Structure formats: C-alpha cells, structure tokens
A and B are shown apart, each in its own frame.
Chain A
Amino acid sequence: DTAVSQTPKYLVTQMGNDKSIKCEQNLGHDTMYWYKQDSKKFLKIMFSYNNKELIINETVPNRFSPKSPDKAHLNLHINSLELGDSAVYFCASSQGVPGNNQPQHFGDGTRLSIL
C-alpha cells in the first residue's frame, strides 16, 4: 500500500564511506525527486527525474549521483561521505513533468548521520 517507500530509514556511517539510498513509488508517477532537509528544516531539491531522464540537477557536489533504472525507482548514491551530508533525505514523486502543478508525494525520509 505504501505509495513512496525509501530504504533504509536510518543510516549511520563514518566519514569517507560510500552509501546508497533506494526509493520506489507505486503511484504510476512520471517524475521523481530527491530533497535534502538540514537541521534547520530547510528543504532543498537536489535532483528531479522524469521518465528516467534527469530534468533538474541543482548545484550539488558530484559525490552525489542519482540513478533511475525505471520510472518507478530513483536511487541516490553518495561517495566519500562528509560531516555536512548529515541530514534527512526525502524522495518524492508527482504525475507528469515538473512545473505542471501536480502535488508531490513524499517518502518517509532517510535519516543519514555521519560520525
């Protein structure tokens, strides 16, 4: 029944490691997003994919690489983790293309803590 699901829910790891976060949606949506929410609660878009193609790539370090094997999945791989990467990462999806004013549906978030 879960519409947008992310795994893992919690991720605790050391600086310098590489980690991945997975996201899947069963809503049949065409667009998926990754957001980062920092400790001040600011929600910042990182990536947006429409039908497996990158639409938006905000200025994020190239240590972050999204991969979309199909339109229902959007994974986020992070290399050489840094302390500043500690945050909650949210996956979201929406119908159609970005800008068409469809609501976004969010996953429960992945809480990443870097030691």
Chain B
Amino acid sequence: QQPVQSPQAVILREGEDAVINCSSSKALYSVHWYRQKHGEAPVFLMILLKGGEQKGHEKISASFNEKKQQSSLYLTASQLSYSGTYFCGIYNRGNQFYFGTGTSLTVIP
C-alpha cells in the first residue's frame, strides 16, 4: 500500500531543478507532500486533489495524474534550504494514510 518514490536520493547544486515522483499501485484520491529536514519533524507542503491541478509552495510545485496513479514534485532553482527528505502521502479507500518511501534531496553550494 505504501507509495513508491523515485529517485531514492538526489544531489543538486544550488539553482538546479529536480523532479521527485510518487507512484501508487492503488487508485489515488489525493496526494499530500511533506518535507522533513534532518533531525526534525515532517512539515506539510501541499495537497493535490483529483483533477490534475498543480499547486505551488515557494518555487516548489506539484502535479497529480490520477489515471497514472502518480504525482510529481517539481523543485525549481533549488536553494540550500530545500535539502531534506521529501515524502508523498496518500489516503486509501479506508481512510488509512500511507507515506511514500521518501526521497533524500541534498543541495550543495
């Protein structure tokens, strides 16, 4: 039931872009995105609902394709502060919440 994220890890230089993917084997009704910095709690970024809408947070945006049962997170012109582990999260039909496998993002100067 746990969504699978790719890549597992990515290293970027400041100013570069990245895409993180989240795929589910089950039908998706919504996708949540969180970021967790090292040693800290996960922090909510955004929620995407059915309909393919894109949402944004700073220079971070996301898309949701319910037909493909996947969501992608786009980080544009990355900053050092973007470093952390990104998790997608989904609810299944039984309203159980599952976090994805996580993607570690490191931004270097």
Contact = CB atoms under 8 A, between A and B. Distances in A.
B96 A103 contact: no
Interface of B: 2, 30, 32, 34, 36, 40-44, 47, 49, 85, 87, 91, 94-99, 101-102, 104
Given A42-B101, A45-B98, A97-B95, 18 more contacts: A41-B102, A41-B104, A43-B99, A43-B102, A44-B99, A45-B97, A45-B99, A56-B97, A58-B96, A98-B95, A99-B91, A101-B47, A101-B91, A104-B97, A106-B42, A108-B40, A108-B41, A109-B41
A101 B49 CA distance: 8
Contacts of B2: 42
A77 to B, nearest CB: 22
Interface residues of A, number: 23
A78 interface: no
Interface of A: 33, 35, 41-45, 48, 55-56, 58, 90, 97-99, 101, 103-109
B42 A43 contact: yes
Contacts of A98: 91, 95-97
A47 to B, nearest CB: 11
Q: When A and B form their complex, which 7 residue pairs have the shortest distance between CB atoms, in order from nearest?
A: A99-B95, A103-B44, A106-B41, A43-B99, A98-B95, A99-B91, A101-B30
